[in-house]
Structure 1
Amino acid sequence: MQYNTDSINHLIRNRRSVFPDQFDTGKYIPDEIIENILINATWAPTHGQNEPWHFSVYTGDGIKQLASFQSELYKQESGSKFTESKYIKLQQQPLKASHIIALGMKRDANSKIPEIEDIEAVACAVQNIYLSVAAYGLGGYWTTGGITYYEKAKSFFGLGETDKLLGFFYTGYIAVPSAKGKRIHINRKVSWIR
C-alpha cells in the first residue's frame, strides 16, 4: 500500500494534547467516531496477538457517574493528602469532555508474556487514539491523575486483580487550540551505529 507520507508526518508532528478547559463543552462527538477511533486503537502492535487493552467509554450520564465515583473514591482513599480543590476538580473536569475512555490493561494470569509488554501494547493503542483524534480534528489527552493507581478503582472499570488501570483519555471538540509544540533536536536523542 502507498500512503501520503507528507500527511502522515504532518499528523504525527502536529498532534497536541488538548485539555478539558480547551474543549467546546456544548458539542458532543458522535459515538460512531469514537468507535472508529477505538477500532484504530486495537490495531496497535501486541506481543502474541494478546490484545491486552480494555476500554470503558463514558459519555452523557456515564460521565456524571464516573465523576462521582472518582471524586468519592479519592475522598475515601487520600487520607491526610486530601485537598478540597482536587476533590472538586475530579467532580467537575470530566463534565467538560464529550467522551472519556478509561484505559485498562487486562492480563491473563497465566500469560508468559512479560507484563511490561502488555502495558506497552496499551500505550501503543493510546498513541493510535491520539493520532486518530487529531485526524478527526478533535482534541484529547491522556491523564494518569486522580484515581488511576488506586487498587480499589479497578473493579469499577471491569478490571481484575492482575489487570491495571492506566489512566483516562478525555475527548472533545476544540474551542481553544493548543500552542505549537517543540522537541529537542533528533541529534541529541539518536545514536547511529554503522
Structure 2
Amino acid sequence: MQKPDFNIEEVNKIIRGRRSMFVAQFKENDPVDDSIIAEMLENARWAPTHKLTQPWQFIVYTGEGLKTFGKYQAEMYKMRAEKNGTPFLEGTYQKFLDNPQKASHVIAILMKRSEGIPLMEEISATAMAVQNMYLTASAHGLAAYWGTGGPTFWPEAREDFGLEGEDILMGFFYVAKPATENWPEGKRDSLDEKVAWIRE
C-alpha cells in the first residue's frame, strides 16, 4: 500500500475545531441522513485497537427507536427511584423521555471485553472510536455530544444491553443538525502547562 497523502492543515483544522453541541443546540425534526451515521461508524471501526480486539459495539436509535429509548430510560429511572427509595422528579423523568427525540440519532457505546488485554486498553480503544465519530460529525457540520447520563451506570441496564463480566456501557452519542450556524468557541490550557520535555 502506498503511503497516503494527508493534508495536515485539514487534519489540524478538524481536530482543533471539533466541539460538543448539546440538546438545546439541536435542530429538531430534521434528521441526519443514515449514510452519514454509517460513515461515522465506519470511521469508528478504524480506531487503534491492541491485538485487533475491536472492543467497540454500537446500537443506533433513530426514528421511532428514539421514542423507544426515551421511554426505556424514563421508566427505568422511575423504577429505580421506587426501588431505592430515592426522590422521583417529574422533570427528570420527562427529560429522559423527551431528550432522545430531539436528536436525529442516539448511539449507545458498548465496550465488549476480550480476555488477556488490559481493561484500560479496551476502554481507550472504544473512546478513540468515539473520537473518530466526533471528528466525522464535526466535519459534516453536525451537532454531537457524548453523554454518560441515564442508564450508563445503572446496573439494571447491563443485561438489557447484553453486557457480561467486565463489559461496559460507556454512554450515548447524540447526533443532530445544529439549530444555528454559530460554532462553539474552544478553550484549552496552554501546552506548557501539560507537557514536560526531557532531552538528556
Shorter-chain TM-score bucket reads over 0.9
Counterparts of residues 33-182 of structure 1 (less than 5 Å): 33-78=36-81, 79=84, 80-108=86-114, 111-176=115-180, 177-182=182-187
1:98-126 residue CA offsets vs partner (Å, 9 max, x unmatched): 00000001123xx0101121111110101
**Unpaired segments ≥5 residues, structure 1:** none
For these two proteins, the number of residue pairs brought into alignment is 192
**Residue type at the aligned position of 1:64:** K
Q: Distance in 2 between matches of 1:8 and 1:87?
A: 41
**Pairing partner for 1:21 from 3, 24, 38:** 24
Pair 1:184 & 2:189 matched: yes
Contact kept in structure 2, 1:24 and 1:173, CA below 8 Å: yes
Instruction: Calculate percent identity across the aligned residue pairs.
Output: 46
Instruction: Write the distance in 2 (CA, Å) between the matches of 1:159 and 1:137.
Output: 33
Q: 1:118-167 deviations in whole A, cap 9, x for unaligned?
A: 11111010100100100111110000011101122123333334311000
With structure 1 as the length reference, what TM-score do the two structures score? 0.94
Taking structure 1 as reference, are residues 95 and 59 closer, same or farther at Cα in structure 2, changes over 3 Å only? same
With the length of structure 2 as denominator, give the TM-score of the two structures.
0.91
The residue type equivalent to 1:76 in the other structure is: M
Question: Secondary structure of 2:27's partner?
Answer: coil
| CA drift at 1:179 | 2.5
Q: RMSD over aligned Cα, in angstroms?
A: 1.3
Q: Is the 8 A contact 1:17 1:178 kept in 2?
A: no
State the one-letter code of the partner of 2:93.
Y
Q: Tell me, what secondary structure is at the counterpart of 2:59?
A: strand
Q: 2-side partners of 1:166 and 1:120: how far apart?
A: 11
Q: Deviations over 1:167-190 (max 9, x none)?
A: 000000011344211111111011
Larger radius of gyration: 2
Distance change >3 Å, CA 178–CA 158, structure 1 → 2: farther
CA distance in 1, matches of 2:169, 2:73: 13
Aligned-partner Cα distance in 2 for 1:100–1:137: 17
Report the more deviating stretch, 3-12 or 175-184.
175-184
